[in-house]
Structure 1
Amino acid sequence: MKILIIQKKFMGDVLVTSTILPLLKEKYLDAEISFLLEEKYAQILIGNPYIHQVIFFKDSLKGTLSEIRSEKFDLVIDLYSKLETALITYFSGANKRIGFFKKYTQFFYNYPVKRTNQVKSKNTTLGIEHRLLLLEPLGIPFQEAFPKVYLTDEEIRNAHEVLAKSGLSENDPLIMISTFGSSEEKTYPLAYMAELLNYIASYKPASKILCNYLPSQKHLFEELLTLISAETKKLVVQDFDTKDLRQFAAVTRLCKCLIGNEGGATNVSKALGIPTFTIFSPHIQLSDWAWSSRPDVDRFLHVADFVEGAKGYPDFKPFFLKDKLEKFLEKTLV
C-alpha cells in the first residue's frame, strides 16, 4: 500500500504531523509512506524510520501534481487542507482521500473530517489530536501519540565536537535557552529574559548556558548580553553556535534541559525527551501546543495563568516564573 502524507510547511506542524506515521505503519505493515512538504522543512524528518521517501513541492502546482500522480498512491492524507493541497489530493488518483472539513475543500476528499474543540488527553493538544482524527476513517482509534526527532550516531558525535570547541562536554551541566521566538510577538521581552537568565545563573550548582538564536537575531543576543549581570555573563557561552536545525537538536540532546520561548526549539526539545520549560506568547493557546510525553517534568507557562485579563507580554513579569523555574531546575539539574 502506498500512502502520501501532506503537510506543506512550518517546522512545528511537520513535526507534530509525524505522530501519525507509526500508527499508520502499525495498521498497514507493508505500507510505503511518502511525505510531501516544502524542502526547507524536511530537516525535521531526517532519520524517521517510518518514511519511505520525501517529496518536495515544485515551483508549480502542475509540476507537483504530475509527480504525485506518477507515484500512484492508494491513500492520501492531507493535513494541510488548503485549496492547493486539496486539489493535489483530489487529482492524485488515490482511492482514499482524507482531509479536514472546510466548506471550500470538503468536496475534494472522500472523508472530510471535522475538527473538535475538546481534547481527549491532558498530555496531548488539539494540534496533535486533530491530526489523529484523520486516522479514524481508517479504523485507527485515538491513542496518545507524541512527535519524535531521530538523531544519527554521526550527528551526536558532531554535537560533542561542537561543545568541545567551546571547552564543554556533556559532563558539564548544560542548559539550552530558546532565547527568542520566531517573531517579535512570540519573543519574551529582552529585559524579562535577562532577569530569567540571572535567575538561572544564580541557581546552584551553576550551569553553563547555551543561547540558541537565528543568525538574523545575533544583534538581539548582543543586546541581551548588555542586560544580564556580570556573573551571569560568565556562565553564558558566547561563542556557541549551531549551523542548522539538526546540529541544534543534537547539541540539545546533550543538555540537561531547555528553557525559553515557545516555538520550534521547544517542540524539538520535547520530541527529544529533554525536560522543557516553555514560555508561551500571549496569543498562543496552551491547548494548541502544550503537549508533553513527560508531564512529570515539562512545564508550560502562560500569562493568563497569572494575570486575569492580561493584555500581553508586559504583564508577564519574570518574578511570576521564578518559583516554578527553580522547581524545574531542581528536578532537572541532577
Structure 2
Amino acid sequence: MKILIIQQKMIGDVLTSSILFEALNVEFPEAQLDYLINEHTSPVIKHHPFINNVIYYTKKEAKSKKALFRFAQRIKKEKYDIVIDVYSKFSSNVISYISSANIRISKYKWYSAFIYTHTFADATTPKTPAGLAIENRLQLLKPILNYKPKNQTPKIYLTPEELKHSKAFLLNHGLDLLKPIYMISVLGSSQKKTYPFNYMAELLDALVIATQGQILFNYIPNQEEDAKAIYNTCKPETQKHIKFDVFGKTLREFIAITKHCTALIGNEGGAVNMAKAIDVPTFTIFSPWITKAAWNMFEDGKTHVSIHLNDVKPELYTNTSKKYLKANYKSLYKAFTPNLIVDQLKLFLEEN
C-alpha cells in the first residue's frame, strides 16, 4: 500500500501534520508513507522514522499552472492508494484529483468536495487538551483506520551529533548551561503576528529581574534590524543578559540550541511548535486576531502556557468578526499591555 499526505503550508503546519505518520504506521506497518511539502519546511521532519519519502512542492510549481499539472502527473505515476490532503488548497486539489487514488481525503470546502471520496468539516471547539490543530488532523484518518489514534504531540528527531554540536556552540559563546537560558521568539511571521517591540522589551526587562537568566533571540538574518530594535529598547541591565549574536544559522541548529534552553517565550508561531516537539516548556503570546483554540496544543497551565487578549479583555471581542480583528490588529495589540501578561509569565517562570 502507498499513502501520500499533502501539507503545503508553513513549518508549524508541516510539523503538526507529521503526527499522522505515526498513527498510519500502527495500522499499516508495511505501507509506504510519503509526505508532500513545501521545500523550505523539511528540517522539522528530518530523521522522522515513519516517513519513507519526502516530495517537494517548489516555487516552480507554485508559479506555473503548467508546471503544477506536470508535477501532478508525476504523482499519478506513483499510483498511490490513498491521498490525504490536509488543507485543500487549489494546488493540492489538482494533485489529489489527478492522482486517481481510490481514496482521497480532505477537509470540507464546498467548491472542492467533489474531488474527494471523504471530507470532514473542521471542528471549532476542542474536545481535548490537544487542541483543534491536532484533533482536526486526526479526524482525516477516520475512513482508513480501524482504531482511534491517541492525541500525540508532534516530535522532532535530533541526532546525538546535533545535540553535541549545539552544546559546544553555547559553551564556546560563554553560556552557562547550569543557569537558566531563555529562547525568545521576539518576532512573529508577520507584523500582524508580532507583539509590539516596546511591549516585548518590557517583558524581557521583567524576565531578567525575575530570573537573572541568559537570553537568546530567535531571528533570521533578514530580521536582524527588527530584533536589534527590540534589544535597543530593553533596559541596559537587560541588554547585559542578551546574547544577541548567539543564534542558529539553520533551522536545525535553532532547534538543537533550543533543546538546551529552560523555556521558549514569545510570539505564537512555528518556533513554539518546534519547542513543544522537543519537550521544551513554552510561554506563548497570541496575536489578537488568531484563534487561540486552533494552536494552543497540549497546554497544561504549567509546562505549556499561552495568553491571548481575549483572556484578559474579553469585552473587546463582543460581536466581532475575524475580519474585523485582523483589520484592527494594531489597536488590539496596543490594548494588550505588558502588565496584563507579566503576572502569568512570572507564574510560568516559577513552574519551570
Q: Which range, TM-score by smaller chain?
A: over 0.9
After alignment, is 35-44 or 166-175 more displaced? 166-175
Aligned CA-pair RMSD: 1.5
Give the TM-score normalised by structure 2.
Answer: 0.90
**Residue 275, structure 1, aligned to residue 281, structure 2:** yes
Amino acid at match of 2:341: L
- The alpha-carbon deviation at position 294 of structure 1 amounts to 5.4
2:143 is paired with a residue whose SS is helix
Amino acid at match of 1:292: F
1:158 is paired with a residue whose SS is helix
Identical amino acids, percent of aligned pairs: 38
Who is 1:39 aligned against? Answer: 39
**How far apart in 2 are the matches of 1:235 and 1:130?**
41
Who is 2:76 aligned against? Answer: 69
**Residue 8, structure 1, aligned to residue 13, structure 2:** no
After alignment, is 67-76 or 45-54 more displaced? 67-76
Who is 1:96 aligned against? Answer: 103
Going from structure 1 to structure 2, the CA distance change for 1:169 and 1:51 (only over 3 Å counts) comes to farther
Who is 2:181 aligned against? Answer: 174
Give the TM-score normalised by structure 1.
Answer: 0.94
Q: Is the 8 A contact 2:113 2:119 kept in 1?
A: yes
Task: Give the unaligned 5+ runs of structure 1.
Answer: none
Indicate which of 145, 153, 159 corresponds to 1:146.
Answer: 153
Amino acid at match of 1:76: V
Q: Is the 8 A contact 2:171 2:177 kept in 1?
A: no
Q: 1:41-89, CA deviations, whole angstroms, 9 ceiling, x for partnerless residues? A: 1111101111001001253112311321222211111112123212211
User: Structure 1 runs of 4+ off > 4 angstroms?
Assistant: none
1:196 is paired with a residue whose SS is helix
Q: 1:181-239, CA deviations, whole angstroms, 9 ceiling, x for partnerless residues? A: 111111111111111000110114x2111111121221112222221111111111122
Amino acid at match of 1:34: D
**How far apart in 2 are the matches of 1:253 and 1:101?**
37
Q: 1:90-109, CA deviations, whole angstroms, 9 ceiling, x for partnerless residues? A: 22132111111212211111
Who is 2:234 aligned against? Answer: 228
Amino acid at match of 2:251: L
Indicate which of 333, 344, 350 corresponds to 1:313.
Answer: 333
- The alpha-carbon deviation at position 19 of structure 1 amounts to 1.4
Q: Is the 8 A contact 2:302 2:351 kept in 1?
A: no
Q: Is the 8 A contact 1:282 1:302 kept in 2?
A: yes
Amino acid at match of 2:332: G
Going from structure 1 to structure 2, the CA distance change for 1:296 and 1:303 (only over 3 Å counts) comes to same
Who is 2:202 aligned against? Answer: 195
**How far apart in 2 are the matches of 1:241 and 1:113?**
41
Q: Is the 8 A contact 1:275 1:294 kept in 2?
A: no
Who is 1:304 aligned against? Answer: 310
**How far apart in 2 are the matches of 1:308 and 1:74?**
47
**How far apart in 2 are the matches of 1:321 and 1:275?**
17
Indicate which of 247, 250, 253 corresponds to 2:256.
Answer: 250
Amino acid at match of 1:314: K
Q: Is the 8 A contact 2:153 2:277 kept in 1?
A: yes
After alignment, is 88-97 or 228-237 more displaced? 88-97
Amino acid at match of 2:340: F
Q: Is the 8 A contact 2:80 2:99 kept in 1?
A: yes
- The alpha-carbon deviation at position 155 of structure 1 amounts to 1.3
**How far apart in 2 are the matches of 1:10 and 1:308?**
29
**How far apart in 2 are the matches of 1:144 and 1:31?**
22
